[in-house]
Amino acid sequence: MNHSHHHHGDHCSCGSAVESGPVSASQLHHALEHAIHYLPAQGPIGVFVHHNTLHAFQHMPFEEAVIKAAQIFAAEPYLSEQTYQEHRKHGRILDRDIDEVLAREPDVALWNGRLSRRELRRALLIPGVRRVNHGNLAWQIEEGFILDHFREDLAPTAKRALASDHPQRLWQVCTSRYQPSAGAETKRAMRPAQAVMAKHDSDLDDEVHLVLVRLVSSYLDQGLAYWPMPSREQGLLAATRALFAATQLSDLPCTFSGLSDEFSRQSEADAESTVLQLLDQLGVASADWEKFLTSELLALPGWSGMIHCLEVDPLLAPHERLSFSLMEFLAVRLTLTVVALRNIMGSTTAWKHQPIQSSRHFDPLTHQARLFDACQLLGYHSDFLASLAEEEFQELCSELEAFHEWERRRLLHLAYELRHERQILIPLARHRAMPAVVEKTDRLQAQVIFCIDEREESIRRALEEIEPLIETYGAAGFFGCAVDYQGLDDPSGVSLCPVVVKPAHQVAEVPLESDQGRSSIRKILRRVASRLSRNAGIGSRTLVRGTISTACLGFFSLFPMALRILAPLSYERWMAKLKDLFLPEPRTELQFMRNDDESRHATTGLLAGFSLSEMADRVANMLHPMGMTMGHARFIVVMGHGSSSLNNPFVSAYCCCAKEESFCRKILGSSVPIMTRAVTTWIISTSI
């Protein structure tokens, strides 16, 4: 039987889709909406880089959120235990911090009151458990690192209790009495990739992503590719089907044999129906759709999140705005997965019955070694451990298992934060209540509003230390002015605001009326230069033009490259002079004033600039929360920052100057009657 063709059997969803289609479609959309919560909310890197990894868990307490996120994203919830113990050795965490954290935790009496949970956990946190695992334990035992002598960092009471004992005797008692079982460690695969890895030791994700990334990147291309992907205007799924129908891709691995037939078979179905059919072929029950879709999308989170962001806001695409659909992305991904499963495992449902080994390999020797280490920290003699009743011994082992690594790291993190509170936050609060260093004056020398950026914070603190009569404030980098900004040379506007804010106003940089001629010349020259640059870039990758350009121009490119490396400042000055000569820059101004409250941009639908009342509202909304409502200094400085870079794709996220300039212009350009309630001083705008 040819697995590359679809056969209508009892499990086929084609017939049932007519009957239960609306219900299944509703369930599918509901499952996909829940899966989307865990995707990165960062679109194309453009102007404002922002992503909160825990945005899907903000409704949960922090400790629960990091654990849940660690389980879903296969990440770490806290710093490593070794890192916390290093901080403890260097005084960043004090023993009394750990004691205070333990005092806040619920306590339980063990062994009829002879031991408490708090005492047990303190002994394990101070000085900390020894790191053992199945990979290094056998070697440590064989080399004698564990059984020749007790730990050297034991508390004095523990050392005295173990003075007459020997490590080998204690080890023998631990291994003879404690026989941990694996329990339910072995589980079934949650994803096809897990099953393929367990059975064939092959990474299915690598195979799928090899094709999927090439398809999606070609579809999302913003003008860099020499040949655009055909049929892109019809959507990702239709373009992919058309591509495989028109060509035979010989470079595909044998894992995807029959892929063209599969795309051809589903050619009449839309993305939603295709996903429903593929889920049915994979044997995924509707109750498991949410978990399955979440895990499949998170296998390639960046691309999945990118597609979703562009689907929600197509204007995020810098050049070509296409039809973006996460459902279509999912249909292509699942199609690749189904075809690969047929070729690797012979069936699209066999993966569900494949047992997999837990990521945390169960090793009884490791658990016994942890008991052995805990007994040393507690000062338990081998005779004492052997004399414990079975119920008491099991109670001890259960407490040790419950106090696993993540729980120890949680308490150490709380102690880490407590020391920060004692060292930084409480002294700051006390300092705030102290009398002023200098006598109060009727008017400060200056008030400076800084962007809340790590580079500006150091300057802000230094300024306050040098001159107490200068008052500083912090503000978000867009200074409350959400705008769609279009520079003189920009083909379209970009949103200068956090990703969660959508601008309603457009601000454009335009040439002065006296420089209109120079601006027109600049546009023509830029168009010619861009065309030459693109042709040169493409030509350098072809056989004929690449050979000619390398032979003729390669030697001459050596001189500017050497100058840029050896004398970067001279190179920049030289390039600036050439740019002024060949690309004259006109004098410009920002169009941020709007006299007509209803005037909107013809293509974007955004308000063309700000009205007087809107400017006053934004200035007041920025100054009032900061407390700048009275007693203003003669000078108010809005301090922005910017960066220059040759090849850093994040460079635009390191600048807030456009927003800072817009904020200052709002204040300077507003009439006195409107602005008296906000500010009545001169504004100086500067950038660093």
**Distance between CA atoms of residues 215 and 235, nearest Å:** 12
Structure token pair of residue 104:
């806040």
Find the length of the chain.
688
Question: Distances in Å between the alpha carbon of 10 and those of 27, 231, 275, 283, 348?
Answer: 21, 35, 18, 12, 15
- Hey, how many other C-beta atoms are within 10 angstroms of the C-beta on 470? 17
pLDDT recorded at residue 684? 38
Amino acid at 79: L
Phi, psi of 661 (to 5 degrees): -65, -40
Give which of 625, 622, 614 is closest to 683, Cα–Cα. 622
**Distance between CA atoms of residues 593 and 590, nearest Å:** 9
Structure token pair of residue 520:
């027109």
Question: Distances in Å between the alpha carbon of 480 and those of 283, 308, 467, 476?
Answer: 51, 27, 28, 7
Rg (the chain; Cα; Å): 33
**Distance between CA atoms of residues 609 and 160, nearest Å:** 79
**Distance between CA atoms of residues 592 and 337, nearest Å:** 52
**Distance between CA atoms of residues 312 and 581, nearest Å:** 43
Handedness of CA 564, 570, 575, 578 (dihedral sign): negative
Phi, psi of 687 (to 5 degrees): -130, 150
DSSP conformation letters of 12-79: -HHHHHHHHHHHHHHHHHHHHHHHHTTS----SSSS-----TTGGGTTS-HHHHHHHHHHHHT--SS-
- Upper half-sphere CA count for residue 405 (Cβ side, 13 Å): 16
Give which of 304, 326, 275, 299 is closest to 203, Cα–Cα. 299
Pair 259, 343: CB distance under 8 Å: no
**Distance between CA atoms of residues 402 and 399, nearest Å:** 5
Pair 174, 168: CB distance under 8 Å: no
pLDDT tens string 550-603: 777 777 778 888 888 899 889 888 888 888 888 888 998 888 888 765 566 555
Give which of 78, 283, 92 is closest to 192, Cα–Cα. 283
**Distance between CA atoms of residues 68 and 53, nearest Å:** 12
pTM of the model: 0.77
Three-class SS of 465-518: HHCCCEEEEEECCCCCCCEEEECCCCCCCEEECCCCCCCCEEEEEEECHHHHHH
**Distance between CA atoms of residues 640 and 26, nearest Å:** 48
pLDDT tens string 201-254: 999 999 999 999 999 999 999 887 878 899 999 999 999 999 998 876 667 888
Pair 241, 330: CB distance under 8 Å: no
**Distance between CA atoms of residues 265 and 5, nearest Å:** 7
pLDDT recorded at residue 64? 94
For the chain, list residues with pLDDT below 50: 1-20, 658, 668-688
Cis amide linkage into residue 192, ω under 30° from 0: no
- How do beta strands 446-451 and 355-356 pair? unpaired
pLDDT recorded at residue 620? 87
Pair 50, 312: CB distance under 8 Å: no
Locate all alpha helices (DSSP H) within 184-233, ordered by sequence. Answer: 192-200, 204-219
Helix (H) or strand (E) holding 446: strand 446-451
**Distance between CA atoms of residues 53 and 67, nearest Å:** 13
Phi, psi of 668 (to 5 degrees): -65, -35
**Distance between CA atoms of residues 650 and 648, nearest Å:** 5
Pair 385, 394: CB distance under 8 Å: no
At 451, is the secondary structure helix, strand, or coil? strand
- Hey, how many other C-beta atoms are within 10 angstroms of the C-beta on 491? 8
